[in-house]
Structure 1
Amino acid sequence: MSAEKKYGLIGRNISYSFSKKYFTEKFRLLQLDNHSYDIYELGEISEIEELCRANGLSGFNVTIPYKEEIIPYLNSLSEEAVQIGAVNTVVVCGGKTKGYNTDAAGFEKTLLKLKQENHQSALILGNGGAAKAVKYVLRSHGIPYETVYRKGNLNFDTLTAENVSKHSIIIQTTPVGTFPNVNDSVAFPFEALSPEHLVIDLIYNPPQTAFLSEAAARGSVISNGQLMLEQQAEKAWEIWSSTSDEL
């Protein structure tokens, strides 16, 4: 019988997360009765050190708003996490921690499944940890992009239909529209969208956000974050289950 292992998800306002159900079912199917996965709400990222000590975690996932803030608290990072500048998966072993990014692999699966020949440039909405993984994937595939964010020269107040028309891939990376605030949406000139656009919203709950509904009404190809979520979770488990006794 394998040793007891505790995993979890850290973030803020994450009671809606699918992760606990997903990993609990995975452990059941793998007959890992001594493995568990729980949700940990952190008011501040500084609470992570005590959380690891008190709960004996073997690893954890990281979500909004801590994908970047977690980095100074880790002993080391994978090369990919260094390049991305954000972490969503952490291994705890021998009292040390190592951060990885599996969001990039998850987003890449989604992008390559849907991208067509005419999808040549991207507009990214948001500039947080998830957006960093998206940028990493776009760069690796030679896809140019612009970013819209609150403090940027191109922000949600200055974004125009003309800006949008320059890009055929739109990627919504902010948490706006996540359950329970399902009627919310970032400010966006939806009239600029067409059937030529691929619109991806990284939110998975609800399955179709208000943002995606507006895009669908213009005939755009739409996708939520479910595939990305599942793929990054599988990659996280691959990392956790293959970690040796030392980092």
Structure 2
Amino acid sequence: MKKLGLIGFPLGHSFSKKYYLNKFEQESIVDVDYDLYPVENMSDFKALYQNDKEFCGFNVTIPHKRNVLDLIDELSPEAQAIHAVNCIKIERRTGSLYLKGFNTDAYGFEFSLRPLLQEQHQTALVLGNGGAAQAVYYILKKLGISFKIVSRTKENGDLTYEELTPAIVAENKLIINCSPVGTFPNINEAPQIPYESIGIDHLLYDLIYNPEETAFLRQGKARGAQTKNGYEMLVLQAEKNWQIWNGELE
């Protein structure tokens, strides 16, 4: 039985486990299992895959997307540029272990965003600067969309929330929430931005998928904006991970 899993700490609700176990059942895949592995220290993670030869890959979530880099033998171009890994493929080469690191968050974000982009989406505001935001920055640069980072402190972004004026929000027609604000169970919370400046030309994208419609998206929709949550991004990255683990992608 091959083993796949998700590492992070702490681990609560997991999209990945539910998604892959459903996939295995629906596609009659019987030789693979997927489980959660709450790992606080990287030394514990290393022991996990070194001591069990059944492991062939992992997903990585907070706080380890960068912590894990020291254990990786080879990085994909995206992972190298973003300096973060969310997918690991384990190869066993003549008895030695070889770990390849990928960032499929970037792929998931890019191809869930692309169909929604219109001519007015030339500039963007990115709310938050955590690990998830790094893949967003990478893709916006790839797509030629200039952006400003909005953070709680000036040291971590271009603008603070206090500096975000109605005029700036009106000017930037693409707004992406990469912060955890609004995630279940805090479903009534939303990033503090001037929502009154949002209109029908805006596109609001929230990386959060639970709840399905965050307060951030709800306020945008009420003002005529196009909205998108993070669910499709997760599905796309999950399928890309599966291709990597099965050797369909290198």
Corresponding position of 2:238: 233
Instruction: Tell me how far 1:174 sits from its aligned partner.
Output: 1.5
Structure 1 residue 93 and structure 2 residue 95: aligned?
Answer: no
Corresponding position of 2:14: 17
Corresponding position of 1:112: 114
For residues 63-114 of structure 1, give each alpha carbon's deviation from its aligned partner in whole angstroms, at most 9, with x where no partner exists.
2232222222322211221112221111112222111011111111111121
The CA distance in 2 between the partners of 1:47 and 1:180, in whole Å, is 30
The CA distance in 2 between the partners of 1:186 and 1:168, in whole Å, is 16
The CA distance in 2 between the partners of 1:210 and 1:159, in whole Å, is 18
Tell me if structure 2 keeps the 8 A contact 1:16–1:179.
no
SS at match of 1:49: helix
The one-letter code of the counterpart of 1:157 is E
For residues 183-204 of structure 1, give each alpha carbon's deviation from its aligned partner in whole angstroms, at most 9, with x where no partner exists.
2222222122111100000111
Corresponding position of 2:82: 84
Corresponding position of 1:71: 69
Q: How many residues are paired up?
A: 242
Instruction: Tell me how far 1:29 sits from its aligned partner.
Output: 3.0
The CA distance in 2 between the partners of 1:31 and 1:224, in whole Å, is 29
The structure 2 residue matched to 1:210, chosen from 208, 215, 236, is 215
The one-letter code of the counterpart of 1:232 is Q
The structure 2 residue matched to 1:185, chosen from 161, 180, 190, is 190
Instruction: Tell me how far 1:44 sits from its aligned partner.
Output: 4.0
Tell me if structure 1 keeps the 8 A contact 2:10–2:40.
no
The structure 1 residue matched to 2:175, chosen from 159, 170, 173, is 170
Tell me if structure 1 keeps the 8 A contact 2:148–2:158.
no
SS at match of 1:184: coil
The CA distance in 2 between the partners of 1:99 and 1:136, in whole Å, is 16
Q: How does 1:186-201 map to 2 (within 5 A)?
A: 186-201=191-206
The CA distance in 1 between the partners of 2:46 and 2:235, in whole Å, is 27
Instruction: Tell me how far 1:208 sits from its aligned partner.
Output: 0.7
For residues 180-236 of structure 1, give each alpha carbon's deviation from its aligned partner in whole angstroms, at most 9, with x where no partner exists.
222222222212211110000011111111211121122111000011110000000
Structure 1 residue 148 and structure 2 residue 150: aligned?
Answer: yes
Unpaired runs of 5+ in structure 2? none
The structure 2 residue matched to 1:40, chosen from 37, 42, 65, is 37
SS at match of 1:92: strand
The CA distance in 2 between the partners of 1:11 and 1:206, in whole Å, is 21
The CA distance in 2 between the partners of 1:175 and 1:194, in whole Å, is 24
Q: How does 1:114-129 map to 2 (within 5 A)?
A: 114-129=116-131
Kindly tell me: are residues 157 and 50 of structure 1, through their superposed partners in 2, closer, same or farther at Cα, counting changes over 3 Å? farther
Bigger fraction of residues in strand: 2
The one-letter code of the counterpart of 2:209 is Y
Instruction: Tell me how far 1:121 sits from its aligned partner.
Output: 1.0
Unpaired runs of 5+ in structure 1? none
The structure 1 residue matched to 2:134, chosen from 115, 132, 135, is 132
The CA distance in 1 between the partners of 2:24 and 2:136, in whole Å, is 29
Which region of structure 1 is more displaced relative to structure 2, 139-148 or 48-57? 48-57
- TM-score, normalised to structure 1, is 0.90
Q: Which has the higher contact order (CA 8 A, sep 6+)?
A: 1
The CA distance in 2 between the partners of 1:6 and 1:122, in whole Å, is 40
The CA distance in 2 between the partners of 1:176 and 1:45, in whole Å, is 28
RMSD: 2.0
